[in-house]
Amino acid sequence: MKTLDPGAFLGLEGHDCRPDAPGVVIAVPYEATTTYKTGTALGPAAILNASQQVEYYDEWLEDEARRYGVRTAAAVVCDGPPEQLADELEVIVGAHLDAQRFPLILGGEHSISLGSIRAAAKRHPDLVVLHLDAHPDLRDEYDGTRYGHGCVMRRVWDLGVRIHAFGLRAISPHERDFYPTQTTATYVGARELLPLHGPERVERILAGLPAGPLWLSWDIDGLDPSIVPHTGTPEPGGVDWYTVSELLRQLDVHKRHIVGAELVELLPLPGHHASDFACARLAHRMLLAGLRSHARRT
């Protein structure tokens, strides 16, 4: 495993990454329950590294995250089971939220979400998780654990947090039947987006999104693998680049409150840097949308 320090997000140093910066980037190189191809623990370093080549100016949101101040925190390293990581991350992310910071978390496998979302939900009881994924992750138990990557949204749902998923296209019959029986879990499948074009796709996703503060829990496999092929379970089909970009822009236009964000499940492959770069670009856009939301409220 490469142990070189990957450096700061966007390569920021000096004034732009002051200790009291409202944006904090937290790498969580955690992988314990991955079932197919492994290597997501290397994802955060690959994103941090690629982010140093990302243009500061984001032409979709017409702004720059560094303008608000962005600091890269120490990576959170945990060798224990996902339940233990959840407890640790809940404390760490909770402290950032209490200090009025916007956290962007870079995974790692998707099981890392529970602790951060628990921290956010305790502070925002009406929290809504906007969940991008090819998979619902709603299994009650999978591979002998109730806290693995295939169960993470079920544990989030257990908290009473509302979930609105989009991009789903690998769904078990049990999960398919779960959504219609719940008022707190909804989804827009990839098939529903197929006949729609451009802005209509974004409108369809937003139409089902409840009011309330948002946590963005984005699994990169929700995107079409032609954009990011390097992920553990690259399902064909999926959400296109312009839809996620315009979705972030519309959240900004609608002045939605974004509490925190995470991007997970990149599985970098040496010599193939397009996936790393796409994730870094998307991570910057998510961070920027969050920081703009944060700035409107402070």
Give the nearer residue to Mn ion in terms of CB position, either 54 or 263: 263
Can you say whether the dihedral through the CA atoms of 244, 249, 255, 261 is positive or negative? positive
Can you say whether the dihedral through the CA atoms of 237, 163, 34, 26 is positive or negative? positive
Give the nearer residue to Mn ion in terms of CB position, either 135 or 285: 135
Give the nearer residue to Mn ion in terms of CB position, either 23 or 136: 136
Give the nearer residue to Mn ion in terms of CB position, either 135 or 284: 135
Burial bucket for residue 240 (CB in 10 Å: 0-12, 13-18, 19+): middle
- Taking the complex as a whole, the smallest distance from the CB of residue 92 to Mn ion amounts, in Å, to 24
Residues that bind Mn ion (CB under 5 A): 133-135, 219, 221
Alpha-carbon span 293 to 297, nearest angstrom: 7
- Taking the complex as a whole, the smallest distance from the CB of residue 122 to Mn ion amounts, in Å, to 25
- Taking the complex as a whole, the smallest distance from the CB of residue 264 to Mn ion amounts, in Å, to 8
Give the nearer residue to Mn ion in terms of CB position, either 97 or 286: 286
Phi and psi at 223, nearest 5°, equal: -75, 155
- Taking the complex as a whole, the smallest distance from the CB of residue 132 to Mn ion amounts, in Å, to 9
Let me know: does 23 contact 83? Beta carbons within 8 Å. Answer: no
* Of 133, 136, 97, 94, residue with least CA distance to 115: 94
| Structural Rg of the chain based on CA atoms | 17
Let me know: does 242 contact 278? Beta carbons within 8 Å. Answer: no
Give the nearer residue to Mn ion in terms of CB position, either 63 or 133: 133
Burial bucket for residue 270 (CB in 10 Å: 0-12, 13-18, 19+): exposed
- Taking the complex as a whole, the smallest distance from the CB of residue 219 to Mn ion amounts, in Å, to 4
- Taking the complex as a whole, the smallest distance from the CB of residue 137 to Mn ion amounts, in Å, to 6
